[in-house]
Amino acid sequence: MRIDGLDKDFWRGKRVLLTGHTGFKGSWAALWLSRLGADVTGFALEPDAEPNLFALARVGEAVHSHIGDLRDVEAVRRVVADADPQIVIHMAAQPLVRRSYADPVETFAVNVMGTVNLLQTLRTVNALQTVLVVTTDKVYENAEQGISFCEDDPLGGHDPYAASKAATELVAASYARSFFAARGVRLATARGGNVIGGGDFSEDRLVPDIWRALRKNEPLLLRNPEAARPWQHVLDCLCGYFTFVRGLADLPDAPAALNFGPPHDAPVLTVAELAGAVQAALGSGAMWQPAADRGPHEMATLEIDSRRARSLLGWRDQLAGAPCVQWLADWYRAFNMDSDMRAVTLDQIAAYEALSARVGQS
């Protein structure tokens, strides 16, 4: 069975509340949902990087954009009332591991209580049909034994970011059972891999660090070059989220959580291996040095098993492996040439839709 998460007939006219629309992944999601015909309301903090995809791609022109903080209950109430959503995709978060060590209180407040504030407010929305809470591949209790985690594995978290997202999973499950199920509202969580792609300029992330080092003609410093991660292009991950939203509407026994990551039989690249591939795609030699300060502890190995999403939804990657690196390199090269980045971003979305359509017809 294949569920088409990119079906414009499904999304057309749907009132969608998207939190986190000013971030890297949220900006891609906002543009894509708008292109699919959804009536998108965004709620998020101001972008925290310069440059940023939200401004470069003029995302605010595609959505009803509200700047605010999930910790502000009244602000959340106002935007929910304004959006009157049928579908909610909750992506807003404090998403950085190293920042979570520096400010664990902020991380727990945003990721856990911000989610509580949103879900509590959504209880009053009569039109609500579906809520997808986006967490992370890091929600699992990871003993670093090279296990590929599936959805039934125990939740946990060594660092404050991972722990806050595991706690968010518990909050979502509690609200689903306690308040939303009886109303027929489907509430689920999506656990994405390490998402990469054009337009990411965040601090302490690999691809932006590569781009910044090349721009400055400086060697790339890698804190954990041997760490392995489930790298995935942002469009593959978002297609998974959109397909899950559609599946929650169409499948009576849709699961409460799904992983979205690269194929289980794909090679797991280390940080150094991915860095070398991205540098080569951007026309540079593999130049990196181990960072003198490795910073606080980060997991050395992480894999997630996304076979359940592939089986239940018919979802699959279009950009696994070399295409993932090539597409992100194409985006940054266009940016370096002062191209119209809204057009470049939308062109990549359109090209992805064409790839997906061909798979659906085969």
Element of type H or E holding 90 = strand 87-90
b/e string for 189-224 if b means 16 or more Cβ within 10 A?
bbbbbbbbbbbbbbeebbbbbbbebbeeeeebebbb
Residue 88: inside a domain: yes
Query: Does residue 357 lie within any of the structural domains?
Result: no
Please report the pLDDT score of residue 185 as a whole number.
98
pLDDT of 211-261, one tens digit each? 999 999 888 999 989 988 889 999 999 999 999 999 999 999 999 999 999
Tokens of 112: 């856990």
In this predicted structure, what is the pLDDT of residue 260?
A: 97
CATH number of the domain to which 25 belongs: 3.40.50.720
pLDDT, mean of residues 3-22 = 98
Give the per-residue pLDDT at 58: 98
**Residue 195 pLDDT exceeds 90:** yes
pLDDT in tens, 326-353: 999 999 999 999 999 999 999 999 999 9
> What's the total number of domains in the chain?
1
Average confidence (pLDDT) over 44-55: 96
Check pLDDT > 60 for residue 24.
yes
Q: What pLDDT digit, counting tens, does each position of 244-253 carry?
A: 999 999 999 9
What integer pLDDT is reported at residue 267 of this predicted model? Answer: 79
Inside any domain, residue 360: no
- Does residue 355 lie in a domain region? no
Whether 297 has a pLDDT exceeding 80, the answer reads no
Q: Which of 63, 204, 179, 64 is nearest to 128 (CA)?
A: 179
Confirm whether 180 is domain-assigned: yes
* 361 confidence band (pLDDT: 50, 70, 90): low
In this prediction, residue 294 has a pLDDT band, given cuts at 50, 70 and 90, of: confident
- Provide mean pLDDT across the span 51-72: 98
What was the pLDDT predicted at 362? 57
CA distance 95 to 107: 8
- Structural domain contains residue 309: yes
Cα-only R_g, the chain: 19
Identify the residue whose tokens are 């296990």: 147
**In this predicted structure, what is the pLDDT of residue 337?**
96
Whether the predicted pLDDT of 158 surpasses 60:
yes
Residue 329 lies in a domain: no
Q: Look at residue 31 and tell me whether its pLDDT is greater than 60.
A: yes
Q: How do 231-233 and 194-196 pair as beta strands?
A: parallel
Structural domain boundaries, residue 119: 8-197+230-265+298-320
For the residues of 51-73, what is the DSSP string, one character each? S-HHHHTTGGGTSEEEE--TT-H
Q: Within a domain: residue 223?
A: no
Q: What is the rounded average pLDDT of the residues 161-175?
A: 98
Q: How confident is the model at residue 1 (pLDDT cuts 50, 70, 90)?
A: confident
Give 263-280 pLDDT, tens digit per residue. Answer: 988 878 899 999 999 999
Tell me which DSSP letter residue 139 carries.
Answer: G
- Mean pLDDT, rounded, for 114-137: 98
